[in-house]
Amino acid sequence: MHNAGKPHPSRSLSHLLLLNGPNLNLLGTREPGLYGRCTLAEIEQALCAQAQELGHRLTCFQSNHEGELVDRVQQARSEDVAFILINPGAYTHTSVALRDALLAVAIPFIEIHVSNVYARESFRRHSYLSDIASGIIIGCGPLGYRLALLAAHERLATASHS
């Protein structure tokens, strides 16, 4: 039976965290040819609904500041976050601090990029996070966020059965 909008009764609630880095607050108006017309608010709203349907709770956070993102990753440990979905924006290509924070909390995460970073400038081909990520989703547009949530859900389900 369809149970839209309500947590699935047989699944335990996990806390998931969606992090978006610099300039992603401009999604919808920022270079729409590359990033599409969906706003971050629309993406977050759809993802919260999807998370709830899958039986999870999703917290969303965006910042243009590296230290705030590091703080939010550190905070995730005390909030019992089971999985992080992160589009680090330009910090993907520069931030050892974000890498260290993710290693420190040891919470599995999926790295998301709306655009195909491999089809752009060469400096976007290097990520400080990809080799420590549980998965990466690149170039699928805003759909990438939904795919990442599904992947996290599958990983959590597998972990809880092993």
Ligand X SMILES: O=C1C[C@@](O)(C(=O)O)C[C@@H](O)[C@@H]1O
Least distance to ligand X from the beta carbon of 74, Å?
21
Beta strands (DSSP E) in 10-160 are 14-20, 56-62, 81-87, 109-113, 135-138
C-alpha closest to that of 113 among 138, 146, 132: 138
Active site residue 113: yes
Task: Point out the catalytic residue in the list 91, 113, 128, 145.
Answer: 113
Asked if 147 interacts with ligand X (CB under 6 A), we say no
Nearer to ligand X, 7 or 22 (CB): 22
Q: Which of 14, 63, 95, 115 is close enough to bind ligand X by CB under 6 A? A: 115
Asked if 146 interacts with ligand X (CB under 6 A), we say no
Separation between Cα atoms, residue 65 and residue 36, nearest integer Å:
23
- The C-alpha R_g of the chain, in whole angstroms, comes to 15
Least distance to ligand X from the beta carbon of 120, Å?
7
Asked if 127 interacts with ligand X (CB under 6 A), we say no
- The reply to whether 3 sits in an annotated binding site is no
Q: Please, how many CA atoms are within 13 Å of residue 89, restricted to the half-sphere of its CB?
A: 18
Binding site for ligand X (CB under 6 A): 23, 87, 89-90, 92, 113-115, 117, 124
